[in-house]
A = this chain, B = another copy of it.
Amino acid sequence: MSKRIIGSTPKQDGYRMPAEFEAQDQVFMIWPERSDNWRNGGKPAQEAFSNVAAAINQFTPVTMLVSRAQYQNARYQLPEEIRVLEMSNNDSWVRDCGPTFIINDKGEIRANDWAFNAWGGLVDGLYFPWDQDDLVAQKVCELERVDSYRTSDFVLEGGSFHVDGEGTVLTTEMCLLSEGRNPHMSRVGIEDMLKSHLNVEKVLWLGDGIDPDETNGHVDDIACFVAPGEAACIYTEDTNSPFYEAAQDAYHRLSEMTDAKGRQLKIHKLCCPIKNVTIKGDFKIDSVEGTLPREDGDICIASYMNFLITNGGVIVPQYGDENDALALRQIQEMFPDKEIVGVNTVEIVYGGGNIHCITQQQPSA
């Protein structure tokens, strides 16, 4: 039902990726279960995912994708209003393995189905195999009867870029120029792919992200667009913060940037947690060769930036940190007309990501 479009690009066909703050029809998530990534058999993470799903569902219908093994449990754990569908997966990061939807001016919707290699493939990917994750985008397109552009020779994850919906894309060099993704392509070649498949004119490059080991520095932990001409960026003056250098660099680069429309970007600062969230030695995480080990004291990538904007709401990570309330206030100022909903996502950040990483919005066509 979902056609593979061959021989043209979204730009040629008049499709663009809308910004996250534009209208959405639904949000996809994938149920967590890998016991070599989620502690205690995934049970604490499943509870946290359920809370995130319920929060989103106040604003936008949620479809939860779940493996055969966990189907009945997920259906039972989740509120009845959440749609629960079977779909195989290798882990639960639908932002990165799911489709990137695009729309045109006639009210039609299509999608980009990027090649996915678990954040670096055999170079520095996080697990093997990733075959089922790489099918998620296609299966979602079949589900929703959406035609797609498959980029078999171009690896990209949804969490590695943000668009403003008006011709600008924001990304990081650390990720998009990494050895494990598209080493055969030049920076200009990569820019061309972003331009043709997201239908943008200008690529804004940040340097490093705060998550070099897992995602090679996805932008969605450090910055995003909050409105046309306005971006948010994590900010800390605490030189002891593990995120200090990347945050400072991102903030100063962003402050000097203009977007595709020629606007000087207005930058909103977003605080970081005061205390580190760390892996505890007593976590029960299965040992499996080839997956990233979790060790006592490892610092998790706890950023408030990894929120989801979804219609009238913004769903924001909370860590039980002193700065939780400040983060909510700062985000409320960025989105004066939206309801800001905090959800404790410590259990999700233990697994390597957060609310933005585990969600993928389907925009309204």
Known: A68-B68, A68-B132, A132-B68. A86 touches B1 (CB 8 A): no
Is A139 at the interface (CB under 8 A from chain B)?
A: yes
A2 and B143 CA atoms in complex are apart in Å by 16
**Do B84 and A1 touch across chains, with their CB atoms under 8 A apart?**
yes
Give chain B residues whose Cβ lies under 8 Å from the Cβ of A83.
1-2, 142-143, 145
Q: Which of A210-239 contact B (CB under 8 A)?
A: none
Q: How far is the CB of A91 from chain B (nearest CB, A)?
A: 15
A71 and B88 CA atoms in complex are apart in Å by 10
Q: Which of A119-144 contact B (CB under 8 A)?
A: 132, 135, 138-139, 142-143
Q: How far is the CB of A95 from chain B (nearest CB, A)?
A: 20
Q: How far is the CB of A239 from chain B (nearest CB, A)?
A: 49
**Do A139 and B71 touch across chains, with their CB atoms under 8 A apart?**
yes
Is A85 at the interface (CB under 8 A from chain B)?
A: yes
**Do A81 and B135 touch across chains, with their CB atoms under 8 A apart?**
no
Q: How far is the CB of A46 from chain B (nearest CB, A)?
A: 18
Give chain B residues whose Cβ lies under 8 Å from the Cβ of A105.
none
Give chain B residues whose Cβ lies under 8 Å from the Cβ of A143.
83, 85, 143
**Do B142 and A1 touch across chains, with their CB atoms under 8 A apart?**
no
A142 and B72 CA atoms in complex are apart in Å by 12
- The complex is assembled from copies of this chain, and their number is 2
Is A82 at the interface (CB under 8 A from chain B)?
A: yes
Known: A68-B68, A68-B132. A1 touches B81 (CB 8 A): yes
A61 and B145 CA atoms in complex are apart in Å by 11
Give chain B residues whose Cβ lies under 8 Å from the Cβ of A71.
88, 135, 139
Contact check: which of B75, B88, B142 meets A68 at CB < 8 Å? B88
Contact check: which of B84, B88, B139 meets A142 at CB < 8 Å? B84
The interface on chain A, measured as residues whose beta carbon lies within 8 A of the other chain's beta carbons, has a size of 25
Known: A71-B135, A132-B68, A135-B72. A87 touches B84 (CB 8 A): no
Is A80 at the interface (CB under 8 A from chain B)?
A: yes
Is A187 at the interface (CB under 8 A from chain B)?
A: no
Is A3 at the interface (CB under 8 A from chain B)?
A: yes
A76 and B72 CA atoms in complex are apart in Å by 29
Contact check: which of B2, B3, B80, B145 meets A1 at CB < 8 Å? B80
Q: How far is the CB of A76 from chain B (nearest CB, A)?
A: 11
**Do A1 and B82 touch across chains, with their CB atoms under 8 A apart?**
yes
Give chain B residues whose Cβ lies under 8 Å from the Cβ of A2.
83
Q: How far is the CB of A293 from chain B (nearest CB, A)?
A: 28
**Do B87 and A86 touch across chains, with their CB atoms under 8 A apart?**
yes
Q: Which residue of B lies closest to A147 (CB)?
A: B80
Give chain B residues whose Cβ lies under 8 Å from the Cβ of A86.
86-88, 139
**Do B135 and A80 touch across chains, with their CB atoms under 8 A apart?**
no
Contact check: which of B75, B82, B132, B139 meets A85 at CB < 8 Å? B139
Give chain B residues whose Cβ lies under 8 Å from the Cβ of A142.
75, 83-85
Q: How far is the CB of A138 from chain B (nearest CB, A)?
A: 8
A81 and B82 CA atoms in complex are apart in Å by 28
A72 and B2 CA atoms in complex are apart in Å by 13
Q: Which of A84-112 contact B (CB under 8 A)?
A: 84-88
- CB-based closest 9 A-B pairs: A1-B83, A68-B88, A84-B142, A86-B87, A3-B80, A83-B142, A86-B139, A85-B142, A86-B86
A-B contact pairs, 14 of them (CB 8 A): A1-B63, A1-B80, A3-B80, A68-B88, A72-B135, A75-B138, A83-B142, A83-B143, A83-B145, A85-B139, A85-B142, A86-B86, A86-B87, A86-B88
